[in-house]
Amino acid sequence: MSEKSDEKKYIVAQDAGGSMTDCFLVDTDGNFSTGKFITHTEAEKISYMGALNDAAAKWGMDSKQIHKQALSCTYTGTSMINILVTQGGSDVGLMITKGFAHTPIIERGLTWIGQTYEDILHQQLHEHTPWLVHPHNIKEVAERISVGSYYMQHHSMPGTVIIPMNEKDVVKGVNELLDNGVEIIGCMTLGSFANTVHENRIAEIAKEVIAGRGLEIPVVTSNEMCSVPNETERLKTLLIQCYIQETARKALVTVENAAKEEGYERDLMTLLGYGAAATVHYPKLAEAVASGPTGGLLGGKFLSEFLDLPNIVCWDLGCTTCDVGLIAGGLLPVNKSPEFAGHKVRMPMIAIDCLGAGCSHVVHADPVSGRITIGPESVRADLGTMYKSDEITIGDIDMTLGYVNPDYYLGGTIKVNPQRAKSELTKRVAEPLGQDVYDISLKILDLLHDKVINHINGIMLSKGLNPAEFTLLVYGAAGPLHLWGIDRAINFKEVIVVPWAAVFSSFGVAAADYFHRYDKAVTFFLTPDMTDDVKMMQGQVLSQTWAELEERGYRELESEGFSHDEITFRYGISCRYIGQLSNWEVPVEVGQVESIDDLDKIIGAFEENYTNIYPSGARFPESGYQITEIYLEAAADKPKPVISSYPLQGKEPAKDAHKGQRKAFMDGEWMMFDVFEQDLLEPGNRIDGPAIIEHTQTTFMIPSQNYVEMDKYKFMRYRRKE
Amino acid sequence: MGICIQGSTLKEIVAERERLFAETGCAYGLKKLELVEKDPAKFMRFQMRLVASCINSRESAKLISANPMSMVQGELLFMLANAEGDVISASYGLAGHIQCMPFIIKNIAELDFEDNPGIEKGDIFSCNDPMYGPPHNADCYTWMPVFYEGELVSWTVGLNHIVDVGGIQPGGLGVVSPNIFTDGFTYPPTKTGANFKQHKWWELHWKRRTRTEMFNVLDDKMRAAGITSLHDRILEIIDEFGVDYYRQGMKEIIERERRILVERIKSQAVPGKYRYLQLSAVNYKGTLGKLWPNSNRNWLIHKTGELNIRPDGTLLTDLEGLTSEGEFHANAYEPAVRMLTSLGMWPMFAYTETINSSLLYMTDWNIPPGSMFNPQNPYAGTVMGLGVIAGYIFLFHNCLSQAFFSRGFLEETFPADGTAGGYGAAGTLEDGFQWAGGDMSLITCQSQAGNPFHDGFDSSVCSPNPASDIGETEVVEFLLPTQVHLGKKLIPDYCGHGKFRGGLGIGTLQMVNKPGRSLILNAFAATDSMGACAMGRNGGYPGANDIVVFVNDTNIREIIEKESDYPRDFVEIREWMEEGKLTAGDVQIYKGPTPSIPCRDGDLFAIAAGSKGGWGDALERKYELIENDIELDWITRETSKTVYGVIVNDEGKVDKDASDQLRKEMFEKRLERSMDAKDWWKQERDKVLEKGWHEDVKNMYADCLKYNKFKNEFFGMWQLPDDYRIPGYKEE
């Protein structure tokens, strides 16, 4: 590929996982290249450069050439989770309402987050996460503000000051924190989502004290992070922000500097948990902490719009993860109190259901009870007995059954040992259970597939959704390898495998929009007997709150270099029927209520979304509506990848695409599979099973009952033979 | 011609199940697990498919409910049972209920339901009557037969805890009820629906017999919807695996899991007899007056137990010595005992991903007829027998901890006690608006007891629900607008001390804010002033009692106005009052249930619970641990000195020489205080002969002496003359 001048034409997106860093490189014409590199958690710029060079090399270029002509570089890394896991964050100081100093230690008692049912029952082993703030560095301030009441006007309104703040406590506490040498101070008061006066005043005094002592120490309030109820979740969000912000930013800025040294001219961007891109200088960096798995869903959302498929099940099977996300009616579902690494926080995150299943998951067989289990532990990049691990994994089974080509593992860059995989499987699984090694291997795959099937069914059925109305989008390094086992049990409308399956998450990173999101709790009830005046009075509060958020959006995006005109807004609400326990988030068209009609439209949007998800029998409109929170997304334009269309060729693949044949064990017998090279297939080609489509990063198994057609975008449509 | 396999009747297959187990010791007489051995992977897939079906049914059905106990607190379970009634798989939720279903099926078999009212495809059955299997009438069971090719192969079951049962007290957890007629709406097994739909008349019962008709009707719909969808999914699974595989597979699941549980006990526990005793009070005197004369009294409940860990890995729990049945709310039947106590078995040895009724095949119980858990009066009140049974959950924690410790499995020890505090509030606001609510925060999260190698973690566990969660203060205040929290925190020194101390108890302090025309608070504290059992702690102190404090007519409003300051817990209330800073017209302290206390603006209300026991001798605690406790304010200097024998200097460092010396003196004092066992025995024997105990204690002993085993041991221990007797209630 030729290039000249410094015309900006490349988009670089990287997704650094626990074992591999994936790179997706695309130009403005829609040509793309992909790269991979082992993740270097201690020096992420090495893996960033490695993955980019790997992708660029396929075009005969290097990272320098790409950087000079890059429109944007987006990098979502593991650094933040690592800071939490390795406890390498800042020394945090906390100013909190008197009587609540132990809130970060009590941690709401949630010692079991992310565990299996078996482990949850086994309570004696439950432990808290390590402290994000040392009890020494927690100082109390006497004050109390009312959170408001379920009985609304019958008692205190939200935000009423019940106990005025004791400013002496603040001055004393902040000085003590500074004496202790804290590197950042967080402020949190009960009820601050309803009235920020005390919390902001604490911050103000803290800043004065800090300045008075000639220091430069950041001060963060909980209401800046999330202005919504639930003090434990709000505090956890604040503490994570304080704990990781400086360290994480340093790591990201190192990557940014590396890119800039090679001629990249803009800010490096990263991905936030709710699916937005933001520069690495964005203040609320904690929102990026769990953005890892969101890339794939953003890719799914992009394809949902591009291919006009409103209902998609996104399924990612990798070495260590199996993530399932739903796009229903074109919407990405958002979880507002997500859990990760043992923490429960209050920041919006794209809802993804993770299952402990992947190719590096360990297979256990107990000869006494005959129980076979998969996981929960994974050997990650050590892959299995075929490579660096002594544990038998799903990957060993894939190898033993002939699905994966040992000479073409990651394009032949990794040397694996299929003989060892087979002999370990025989010795430690098949023989103790008195089974044939191939039979038992295939059945263990059935177990894995069933686990995934039950998981997908569970997610869909619990929301009342029918798989027959959904397209299954398959990606992840092992998605195409195991699709056959899933497709047999669930009837999807259609199944699509993306050609760059192994790096699809980084494609999604490239496809992310640039925006910031702000959430705010509101008090809003709409009952059938309410007069229009009362309704409008409440509507005005919504308008006013949105206007405040807009102001903040302008302020922050302008400080990031966008002009006033470039900034656009999207609005949304969290709503439920009065009396319900859950609420549902839905976008609305306008962020201003000027008439009853506007209100009806807002409620109508909720009703429409609700009936999309649940059967109409689940509606309760007679009880009225409650809006619990509103949100605003402030967005600016950002370059995005283009997907090219190609002319369709004949059904018959080109001769050189057919690499030969090999045997694999499926449906209880050894069968001969035709082997194809994916990069040499053309749009319009049809591959009939039994066949294997190989790629340097993935293997696609097609059983005899199925075939694949490559469409004009090179997406592979997986179908059943008539 | 019966409805079951090859024309056998339900009665016959249930009897056959029992015969096979009695004769072979294996579930269904399965000495060999053929399906498992032949193809273990397929078998595992089969089992996981059943579990997933139950989970999916629950997740889709629960949306129909508006009952917070079902939706949020997990009091909702869907299960699959085989034709014989064994639960094979279950959804997430309150897993203990698995234990009850086999009793229900056995009962309808013996009642000849097959003959009349008949059991047909699409029928729906309902029951909440504890005599027939459900633990108490708040737990409503709904179930449906699954027929395949004309033969009964399974039951699909749904149950949840409803909001109100229509008893003499509102709610579903009444603590006053002399008999079944005051318990509320109690229905024995009933055919309430056909063709996969509940009959219309059934809905009318909910509307007329309970207070929260809307919740209860929706719950009933939810259960019916869940068992119907599970029914359909099970038929798909039978189609896939074949009906023979299905029948045999369900039996092998039970037998295989039985073997796993037995192996855990065999490999971790030292066999033998382990004794356990707890006491609790039921106070009715003056409550019911002349209407129920037999209930106008108090009871001290003698909760004794003996866990026999047999060498073959099975367990026998002997309750001989338990208080007799009474005209109170706290009677129960065997299924209820098995259901609730299983909460003590899950963490200790029965933790598995695929829970089922295999526990029934390795746990035996001796519950003497006439005791409160085996009442002979068919009209015994049972609305809240679970409250007393709850103490027995900890029999398993404590006895098994001792058994595992003895074998060297230190990390598996989990000593525990029933500590929890909760309260209700009801009032009329200034504008006449009436409201009510409650708070369970200190029930759903507690600290862990000390174990043989580390201190108990703070706020990390919960006995009734494995997923502990103390909730959010901002939510509690939203629902209870008069309660302003001045603190929610760990309380220093509030733990059982020891070489490894228990986790600290948690306390809240609230100020009453603008109650309006009236406000009444009533609290309960689970330790009931009775002290903890302290088994298996090897010299550690038991945890402290749960505590409730009301401080009325205070000057807190003035303090706030002048100094913007406030106390944070019940300990600071005492300190502030001693300093004269806080004044009060009245202070009431409770360590058990409180009466309804009227409160006014500026009153203070403190509740604290969850203080857990320590492990090992406090005088052996390492100095570094004490330094850490002092640094973090978990332990005060005073306690460090008086309990641990450790002197800490102003810099927070232990003065080693002074502490060594102090500990030596404390050991010597212990020796001085000690007395010869023979002398102690004589002294205590005199008390037994004098019978000078409190009336409730005397009544308790008189009652227990009805049991031969207790009598023999009591007479043997105190060498009593043959004509010794203690007059029973109203016998004097």
What single-letter amino acid sits at A191? G
What integer pLDDT is reported at residue B537 of this predicted model?
84
Could you tell me if A105 lies within 8 Å of chain B, comparing CB atoms?
A: yes
This prediction's pTM: 0.87
Residue B311 is given by DSSP the state T
Rg (CA), chain A: 27
Chain A residues closer than 8 Å to B509 by CB: 99
Q: Is-contact A48 A255, C-beta < 8 A?
A: yes
* Residue at token pair 């065999």: B266
pLDDT value at B354 more than 80: no
Bigger pLDDT: B62 vs B408: B408
Rounded to a whole number, what is the distance in Å from the CA of B23 to chain A's nearest CA?
22
What integer pLDDT is reported at residue A117 of this predicted model?
76
The set of residues, in sequence order, having a beta carbon less than 8 Å from that of B651 and lying 6+ positions away, is: none
Two structure tokens written together for B601: 């603006």
Encode pLDDT of A695-720 as tens digits: 988 999 999 999 999 999 999 999 99
- Indicate the residue of A108, A165, A191 with minimum beta-carbon distance to B469: A108
* Residue at token pair 């020796």: B671
Rounded to a whole number, what is the distance in Å from the CA of A530 to chain B's nearest CA?
19
C-alpha to C-alpha distance for A29 and A642, rounded to whole angstroms: 7
- 3 state SS of A61: coil
Rounded to a whole number, what is the distance in Å from the CA of B20 to chain A's nearest CA?
21
Rounded to a whole number, what is the distance in Å from the CA of B16 to chain A's nearest CA?
25
pLDDT value at A617 more than 60: no
Bigger pLDDT: B134 vs A377: B134
Buried b (16+ CB within 10 A) or exposed e, A10-20: bbbbbbbbbbb
Rounded to a whole number, what is the distance in Å from the CA of B402 to chain A's nearest CA?
14
What integer pLDDT is reported at residue A1 of this predicted model?
39
What integer pLDDT is reported at residue A6 of this predicted model?
60
**HEC per residue, A350-390:** ECCEEECCCCCEEEEEECCCCEEEEEEEECHHHCCCCCCCC
Beta bridge partners of A571: A588, A632
Chain B residues closer than 8 Å to A165 by CB: 564
In this prediction, residues B673-683 reach a mean pLDDT of: 96
Q: Is-contact B603 B550, C-beta < 8 A?
A: yes
Distances from the Cα of B600 to the Cα of A458, B519, B588, B604, angstroms = 50, 7, 15, 9
Two structure tokens written together for A657: 């695409």
**HEC per residue, B514-526:** CCCCEEEEEEEEC
Rounded to a whole number, what is the distance in Å from the CA of A118 to chain B's nearest CA?
5
Chain B residues closer than 8 Å to A109 by CB: 444-445, 459-462, 468-470
What single-letter amino acid sits at B390? A
In this prediction, residues B269-273 reach a mean pLDDT of: 97
Rounded to a whole number, what is the distance in Å from the CA of A620 to chain B's nearest CA?
10
What integer pLDDT is reported at residue A580 of this predicted model?
65
pLDDT value at B176 more than 60: yes
Sheet holding B604-609, edge to edge: B483-490, B506-512, B604-609, B547-554, B584-590
- Which residue from B minimizes the CA distance to A235? B472
Q: Show the beta-strand stretches assigned E in A548-591.
A: 568-577, 584-588
- Helices A44-57 and A231-261 pack at an angle, to 10 degrees, of 60
CB contact under 8 A, A108 and B472: yes
Rounded to a whole number, what is the distance in Å from the CA of A321 to chain B's nearest CA?
20
CB contact under 8 A, B460 and A142: no
CB contact under 8 A, B513 and A124: no
pLDDT value at B703 more than 90: yes
Q: Which CATH architecture has domain A306-342+451-510?
A: 2-Layer Sandwich (3.30)
The set of residues, in sequence order, having a beta carbon less than 8 Å from that of B25 and lying 6+ positions away, is: none
Could you tell me if A162 lies within 8 Å of chain B, comparing CB atoms?
A: yes
- Indicate the residue of A124, A164, A462 with minimum beta-carbon distance to B59: A462
- Which residue from B minimizes the CA distance to A455? B52
The set of residues, in sequence order, having a beta carbon less than 8 Å from that of A16 and lying 6+ positions away, is: A22, A39, A44, A47, A48, A75, A76, A77, A78
Could you tell me if A232 lies within 8 Å of chain B, comparing CB atoms?
A: yes
Residue A594 is given by DSSP the state -
What integer pLDDT is reported at residue A4 of this predicted model?
46
**Of all residues in chain A, what percent carry a pLDDT higher than 90?**
60
Tell me the pairing of strands A276-279 and A269-271. Answer: antiparallel
- Helices B334-345 and B101-110 pack at an angle, to 10 degrees, of 160
Q: Which of B477, B566, B581 to mutate to test the interface with A (most CBs of A within 10 A)?
A: B477
**CA angle B398-B399-B403, nearest 5°?**
115
C-alpha to C-alpha distance for A467 and A675, rounded to whole angstroms: 31
CB contact under 8 A, A368 and B33: no
Q: Which residue ranges make up each domain of chain A?
A: 10-83+249-288, 88-243, 306-342+451-510, 361-447, 514-636
Q: Which of B564, B627, B634, B635 to mutate to test the interface with A (most CBs of A within 10 A)?
A: B564
The string of DSSP codes covering B36-81 is HHH-HHHHHHHHHHHHHHHHHHHHHHGGG---HHHHTS--EEEEEE
pLDDT value at A328 more than 80: yes
Count of CB pairs separated by less than 8 Å, A with B: 245
ipTM score of complex: 0.90
B496 alpha-carbon distance from chain centroid = 21
- 3 state SS of A349: strand
Rounded to a whole number, what is the distance in Å from the CA of A719 to chain B's nearest CA?
23
Residue A662 is given by DSSP the state E
Q: Predicted confidence band at B668 (pLDDT cuts at 50, 70, 90)?
A: very high
Encode pLDDT of B608-642 as tens digits: 999 999 999 999 999 999 999 999 999 999 999 99
Beta bridge partners of A361: A378
Mean pLDDT of chain B: 92
C-alpha to C-alpha distance for A652 and A650, rounded to whole angstroms: 5
Two structure tokens written together for B24: 């072979």
Two structure tokens written together for A34: 């992909």
Beta bridge partners of B277: B304
Encode pLDDT of A431-480 as tens digits: 998 999 999 999 999 989 988 988 888 787 666 677 888 999 999 989 99
In this prediction, residues B150-159 reach a mean pLDDT of: 97
C-alpha to C-alpha distance for B343 and B396, rounded to whole angstroms: 9
- Indicate the residue of B55, B71, B444 with minimum beta-carbon distance to A581: B71
**Of all residues in chain B, what percent carry a pLDDT higher than 70?**
98
- Which residue from B minimizes the CA distance to A229? B474
CB contact under 8 A, A124 and B413: yes
- Indicate the residue of B41, B60, B477 with minimum beta-carbon distance to A372: B41
The string of DSSP codes covering A395-434 is HHHHHHTT-S-GGGGGGGTS---HHHHHHHHIIIIIHHHT
pLDDT value at A160 more than 60: yes
C-alpha to C-alpha distance for B106 and B90, rounded to whole angstroms: 19
- Kind and range of the H or E run holding A278: strand A276-279
CB contact under 8 A, B477 and A99: no
CB contact under 8 A, A108 and B64: no
What integer pLDDT is reported at residue A3 of this predicted model?
43
CB contact under 8 A, B56 and A458: yes
Chain B residues closer than 8 Å to A116 by CB: 353
Mean pLDDT of chain A: 90
pLDDT value at B557 more than 70: yes
Encode pLDDT of A96-139 as tens digits: 999 999 999 999 999 998 887 778 889 999 999 999 999 999 99
Q: Is-contact A165 A97, C-beta < 8 A?
A: no
Distances from the Cα of A407 to the Cα of A380, A419, B88, B635, angstroms = 20, 13, 46, 64
Encode pLDDT of B457-499 as tens digits: 999 998 777 888 898 999 889 888 999 999 999 999 999 999 9
Q: Predicted confidence band at A83 (pLDDT cuts at 50, 70, 90)?
A: confident
- Indicate the residue of B412, B431, B458 with minimum beta-carbon distance to A106: B458
**Please, what's the largest Cα pairwise distance for chain A?**
82
Distances from the Cα of B265 to the Cα of A367, A473, B227, B309, B345, angstroms = 19, 47, 34, 8, 11
CB contact under 8 A, B469 and A109: yes
Question: How many CB atoms are closer than 10 A to CB B529?
Answer: 15
C-alpha to C-alpha distance for B214 and B207, rounded to whole angstroms: 8
Two structure tokens written together for B622: 């390492």
What single-letter amino acid sits at A28? T
CB contact under 8 A, B49 and A454: yes
364-383 in chain A: CB under 8 A from chain B: 365, 368-373
**Please, what's the largest Cα pairwise distance for chain B?**
86
Bigger pLDDT: B507 vs B427: B507
Chain A residues closer than 8 Å to B481 by CB: 149-151, 154-156
Question: How many CB atoms are closer than 10 A to CB B687?
Answer: 11
Q: Predicted confidence band at A142 (pLDDT cuts at 50, 70, 90)?
A: very high
Query: Do A10-83+249-288 and A306-342+451-510 fold alike per CATH?
Result: yes
Rounded to a whole number, what is the distance in Å from the CA of A207 to chain B's nearest CA?
22
CB contact under 8 A, B487 and A447: no
Could you tell me if A129 lies within 8 Å of chain B, comparing CB atoms?
A: no
Two structure tokens written together for B609: 């619970």
CB contact under 8 A, A106 and B52: no
CB contact under 8 A, B472 and A229: yes
Q: Predicted confidence band at B584 (pLDDT cuts at 50, 70, 90)?
A: very high
C-alpha to C-alpha distance for A117 and A205, rounded to whole angstroms: 47
CB contact under 8 A, B481 and A150: yes
Q: Predicted confidence band at B15 (pLDDT cuts at 50, 70, 90)?
A: very high
C-alpha to C-alpha distance for B630 and B649, rounded to whole angstroms: 10
- Indicate the residue of A106, A193, A373 with minimum beta-carbon distance to B506: A106
Would you put residue A685 in left (φ > 0), alpha (ψ -120 to 50) or beta? beta
Q: Is-contact B403 B270, C-beta < 8 A?
A: yes
Could you tell me if A123 lies within 8 Å of chain B, comparing CB atoms?
A: yes
Rg (CA), chain B: 27
Q: Which of B51, B473, B558 to mutate to test the interface with A (most CBs of A within 10 A)?
A: B473
Residue A385's nearest CA partner among A359, A420, A414, A358 is A420
Could you tell me if A428 lies within 8 Å of chain B, comparing CB atoms?
A: no
Would you put residue B293 in left (φ > 0), alpha (ψ -120 to 50) or beta? alpha
Would you put residue A611 in left (φ > 0), alpha (ψ -120 to 50) or beta? alpha
CB contact under 8 A, B48 and A450: yes
What integer pLDDT is reported at residue B119 of this predicted model?
98
CB contact under 8 A, A231 and B474: yes
| Alpha-carbon torsion angle B385, B388, B392, B394, nearest 10 | 130
Distances from the Cα of B407 to the Cα of B271, B410, B416, B662, angstroms = 10, 8, 19, 34
C-alpha to C-alpha distance for B2 and B217, rounded to whole angstroms: 34
C-alpha to C-alpha distance for B663 and B660, rounded to whole angstroms: 5
Two structure tokens written together for A385: 């007995």
- Indicate the residue of B44, B451, B470 with minimum beta-carbon distance to A371: B44
Two structure tokens written together for B374: 């085996």
Cis amide linkage into residue B117, ω under 30° from 0: yes
Homologous superfamily of the A10-83+249-288 domain (CATH): ATPase, nucleotide binding domain (3.30.420.40)
Residue B40 sits at φ, ψ, to 5 deg, of: -60, -35
The string of DSSP codes covering A293-317 is THHHHHHHHHHHHHTT---EEEEEE
Q: Which of A124, A198, A437 to mutate to test the interface with B (most CBs of B within 10 A)?
A: A124
What integer pLDDT is reported at residue A706 of this predicted model?
96
Encode pLDDT of B206-263 as tens digits: 989 997 777 788 889 889 988 998 999 999 999 999 999 999 999 999 999 999 999 9
Two structure tokens written together for A471: 């397209």
